[in-house]
Structure 1
Amino acid sequence: MVKCVKSQNGSSLIEVMVALFVLAIGMLGVLAMQTRAIQMNQNSAQYSQATTLAADIYEAMLTSPSSPGSYTINFDDAIPAAPACTASTSECSPSQIAAWNKHHWLTNVQNLLPGGEGQIEASGDKEYVISIRFVTGYDKDTDEPVYEQVDLDVRI
């Protein structure tokens, strides 16, 4: 009597393929998590930069409390030209100092933040809202920029 022995060939190869597939899915998960962490780190840096810039213009407003109203500006306004009185031999009026501060502040907002824009609104008697908005991405459907905004409520 002859015994016929049947054995399974290739089952270990299938197990290796399944293990590699599971490993590949895990690596894709780690890659997605790392990508998201980098994006959140960049957003955090942008928020920090916007907060620092808002504090900078607030400190400039505090240096000339007699004319804080000359610091108001809207998002749509053009960057004011820097006044010519910045040379050490000439003196600037408070409104010229405000124009110089706004010029440098808005230039920094545009240069340091993607799509950066700044606004200073009067919200009451000696109360102002300093707003900075910047682009954090683009809408998938319309390809329009998505803005985030940092507001700082201050009193002079």
Structure 2
Amino acid sequence: MKNQQKGLSLIEVMVSLVILVVGLIGIFNLHIIAKRGSFESFQQTQATYLANDIINRMKLNRSQLLLYRGTYAGLLSKPGKSCDVGVGATVICSNAETRTWDLYQWEQLFGGASELQGTKSVGGLDGATACVDVKATGEVLVVMTWRGVRSVSDGASNKSDFVKGCGTANDRRRTYSLSTVII
């Protein structure tokens, strides 16, 4: 008599499930790493945009250029006068009022105030600090620092003293600096 086996044994099924689970765990880990990398890239893109934004604001208010110098961490209070420009805007602001408004709006942007979830700002850089250095010759250095998702190294460790002094030194600090001349 011949004994023919039909179907799979329990051991074969268990081995197949173990192989499947190991593969799925690898795929999930890859997905998490990709999400982190995507978020880090998004944060750097935001920092680039914000550095360019304040430089453009400074170009439009050249007479106040030296007064844009400082360190900003989202702590400025709202100015008494809104100096928004746009279609139908009738407010006339002095250069000093425009500078104050520019810095306030800029801080609001990197704090995420333009993107709200309920009452919480969610669209900004995590733990952002910005530093602006301006020289009388028109040389401008804008440094954006923020907290990255994972620990790698301090993004300012091999930079100039000005860049090192911007933000809190730690192994999650990311930096972006933009240097230009405004004439």
TM-score range (shorter-chain normalised) is 0.7 to 0.9
The TM-score, its normalising length taken from structure 1, stands at 0.77
Q: Residue deviations 1:28-87, cap 9 Å, x none?
A: 000000011111111111111111111111111111222211111114684254253738
Structure 2: stretches of 5+ with no match in the other structure? 1-7, 84-88, 113-123, 152-169
Count of aligned pairs between the two proteins: 146
Task: Say if 1:115 and 1:134, in contact at 8 Å, map to a contact too.
Answer: yes
Structure 1: stretches of 5+ with no match in the other structure? 1-10
RMSD (Å), alpha carbons: 3.1
Q: For the structure 1 residues 145 and 137, does the alpha-carbon distance in structure 2 shift closer, same or farther, using more than 3 Å as the test?
A: farther
User: Could you say which residue in structure 1 is the equivalent of 2:134?
Assistant: 122
Matched, 1:82 2:83: no
Query: What is the CA distance between 1:90 and its match in structure 2?
Result: 4.1
Consecutive aligned runs of 4 or more in structure 1 exceeding 3 Å deviation: 75-78, 85-91
Q: What is the DSSP-based 3-state SS (H/G/I as helix, E as strand, rest coil) of the residue aligned with 1:50?
A: helix
- CA radius of gyration, larger in: 1
Equivalences for residues 42-57 of structure 1 within 5 A = 42-57=39-54
Q: For the structure 1 residues 123 and 69, does the alpha-carbon distance in structure 2 shift closer, same or farther, using more than 3 Å as the test?
A: closer
Q: For the structure 1 residues 31 and 124, does the alpha-carbon distance in structure 2 shift closer, same or farther, using more than 3 Å as the test?
A: farther
Bigger share in helix: 1
Further displaced range: 71-80 or 108-117: 71-80
The TM-score, its normalising length taken from structure 2, stands at 0.67
Query: What is the CA distance between 1:131 and its match in structure 2?
Result: 1.2
Task: Say if 1:110 and 1:116, in contact at 8 Å, map to a contact too.
Answer: yes
Equivalences for residues 1-156 of structure 1 within 5 A = 12-75=9-72, 78-79=75-76, 81-84=78-81, 86=83, 88-92=90-94, 94-111=95-112, 112-122=124-134, 125-137=137-149, 146-156=172-182
